[in-house]
Structure 1
Amino acid sequence: MSEELFTELSLQICVTGLILYMGFIVYDLAKESKAGKYGTIVMFGTLGFGVVGFLIKTVISKVIG
């Protein structure tokens, strides 16, 4: 396994784990603060924008590079 492949795989795995962990944190924060249905949707929507941005960056870098 080359260093480049290892770096790419570990980045994808670690970022996926980080996104899942952030989702858990947002869920717990919404539950503890009694944000309600709308507040929880807004919180997860904001987190979702960051995830979509990361995915778009990955796709664009694959297409260009």
Structure 2
Amino acid sequence: MELAKSFEPAAIESHWYPEWESRGYFAAGLDTDKSDAFCILLPPPNVTGTLHMGHGFNQTIM
């Protein structure tokens, strides 16, 4: 089996998309039996992408 030179998402999605739809993966719903949901928004990473002590400090505070 020869690997493709680059990733072709259209070829993969055309195969799997009908399966994903039939399983209801894209159906949004609200389960009211569960407890409250929470969302924590994190800031985007810094420009260099290099982690520093400020990242650890900020995550500890949150």
Which is bigger in relative contact order (C-alpha 8 A, separation at least 6)? Answer: 1
Same fold (TM over 0.5): no
TM-score normalised by the chain length of structure 2: 0.28
TM-score normalised by the chain length of structure 1: 0.27
